[in-house]
Structure 1
């Protein structure tokens, strides 16, 4: 295929992905009551799943300290177009999240024909694992980070004379940042897997730069989460775990790569 033909092929993959996002966004836009009262404002309600689980744990350990039964959250719309803009924005983001498996599948359909046979073998299951990690990250951001961050920020006060009354734009933007940021950050094992396959990353390299990785993780957590220490700590812990998991993945991949390389060199000998 010529360069123009590749561009044409890419254009149709992008068009199909955009159609999927727009269709799901329209469905979310129409379901405004469910989207806002159940999904978006869910983490701000005391009966949210996370808070109920905390109360259940508190009952088991005979402690009511971790049971959250009131969240003093007040949300306002200070701009004429505030609610309408957030309605469109949230619908579009929901469309992207739900359509993400299809979007990545279209992207993979575009690049997979250009891979060699051995590259196709090592990348088998890429769509499944990318989707799985993205889904886990989104659920972690929604069910763990979002409710705890909302509770922390709504109760935090520097003075009694300052009232916490948040704009709807700020609330929805914070929720989107937490959920999408977690979804993309959870792709770390996939990135390490492919970098290890081509020999750029090794387990020894990752171990030697572990301290540097901790700093990078904290910086990424600060960039992709609201500017509060709780959110940064909450995203940092699973990323540390993913980094250690990535070391194990890199060790296994690198071991197999070196074994295949040695085997190919033996076969080339006369």
Structure 2
């Protein structure tokens, strides 16, 4: 029985790796399209900047040189390595629904019917919230952070030229961090279902949660700027309040 389960698990892992590999190779081949997405937030005509200008009443033509930050490469093989890493991450991201499906197929035979239902909600909801968190980071938090740090100068004589590796690392770190942060409602719902969390407990320690949120936001935010700190902390606070409502309805 044990070896049978091991064979099923091995088959699921192999299939997941093959699908991720196919998507990764495809992403590697479509280099221009891949990095057009990755490097988009550094351009002045990125959708976030255009919307902010529109909301603030400023007039800006698409493609106008409102700010310019140059990305540079500082190593002989770093661009190729970054290309491979980006393609690998893109492949895993594209294959993630299939990977989750394979894991669910492996685990579901050992679950009761009601447990399978909860598993679907946790996995599906967790995936959706993670994707939402990554989107918030990509379209809102990272562009504003990059613009602030990329254009900040201690003197006009010092020109900003950001290393490509630093850009990619910051983008991936912030995206992963926000994706995990957006799992708060799903985890709260799961803990409430298991009887480990109540809305009364969360309301009682709401002020403590705000302090924790500010600390985590300060760690995630690569700058001490109050605006950036608030930009990260606000979604986290909203997620905490949504979690309280979800736990209350669960109870």
TM-score, normalised relative to structure 2: 0.88
Determine the structure 2 residue equivalent to 1:79: 75
Shift of 1:125: 3.4
State whether structure 2 residue 56 is matched by structure 1 residue 40: no
State whether structure 2 residue 107 is matched by structure 1 residue 106: no
Query: What is the count of residue pairs matched by the alignment?
Result: 248
Please give the secondary structure, in 1, of the residue aligned with 2:129.
helix
- Say which is worse superposed, 224-233 or 123-132, in terms of deviation: 224-233
Gaps (5+ residues) in structure 1?
Answer: 255-270
**How many angstroms apart in 2 are the aligned matches of 1:218 and 1:113?**
42
Task: Note the 1:52-91 alignment, pairs <5 A.
Answer: 52-59=50-57, 63=58, 69-91=65-87
**Aligned in 2, Cα 1:232/1:96: closer, same or farther, shift over 3 Å?**
farther
Specify which of 245, 248, 251 is matched with residue 245 of structure 2.
248
RMSD after superposition: 2.3
Specify which of 161, 164, 168 is matched with residue 165 of structure 1.
161
**How many angstroms apart in 2 are the aligned matches of 1:99 and 1:234?**
31
- Say which is worse superposed, 160-169 or 220-229, in terms of deviation: 220-229
**Aligned in 2, Cα 1:101/1:167: closer, same or farther, shift over 3 Å?**
same
Shift of 1:178: 1.9
**Aligned in 2, Cα 1:106/1:220: closer, same or farther, shift over 3 Å?**
farther
Gaps (5+ residues) in structure 2?
Answer: none
Determine the structure 1 residue equivalent to 2:9: 10
Task: Note the 1:224-239 alignment, pairs <5 A.
Answer: 224-229=220-225, 231-239=228-236
CA deviation digits over 1:47-99, x for unaligned, max 9? 1111111122133xxx469x995223111111111111111111112222222
**How many angstroms apart in 1 are the aligned matches of 2:186 and 2:15?**
25
**How many angstroms apart in 2 are the aligned matches of 1:170 and 1:91?**
17
Structure with bigger gyration radius: 1
